[in-house]
């Protein structure tokens, strides 16, 4: 299995359980690994044969910017489902970092893995 990755995709969104969090936008950072067979793209040197990470970034950025989730777990789950269902990926690993949401911590969030059912 080959892996296509996106590291450090920054997107601002409304996320959180506290009233003050519902009134501001916070930056989240996404690290994504996606299963993909890159052999056809490598052989043909044709973007149509590749998992186009630009398209993935564009779709996820639009979705996250428009979303207003309470929990990072819910947002992460929806992101994984978009990747699996819209980009024909069999497996995805996502790290969603909410940044400095906790005093003294460089980052907090979740890491989840999902596979096509």
The HSE-up count of residue 56 (CA atoms within 13 Å, CB side) is 27
Nearest to 42, CA basis, from 16, 11, 68, 4? 4
Active-site residue flag, 10? no
Give the CA radius of gyration of the chain.
Answer: 15
Say which of 65, 98, 116, 117 is annotated catalytic.
98
C-alpha span between 57 and 19 (Å, rounded):
29
- Residues marked active site are found at 98
């Amino acid at each position: 299995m080959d892996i296509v990755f996106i590291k450090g995709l920054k997107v601002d969104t409304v996320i959180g359980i506290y009233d003050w969090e519902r009134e501001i936008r916070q930056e989240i950072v996404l690290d994504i690994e996606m299963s993909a067979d890159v052999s056809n793209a490598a052989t043909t040197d044709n973007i149509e044969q590749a998992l186009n990470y630009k398209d993935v970034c564009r779709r996820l950025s639009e979705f996250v910017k428009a979303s207003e989730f309470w929990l990072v777990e819910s947002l992460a789950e929806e992101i994984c489902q978009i990747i699996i269902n819209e980009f024909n990926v069999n497996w995805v690993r996502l790290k969603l970092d909410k940044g400095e949401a906790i005093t003294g911590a460089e980052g907090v969030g979740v890491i989840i893995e999902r596979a096509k059912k």
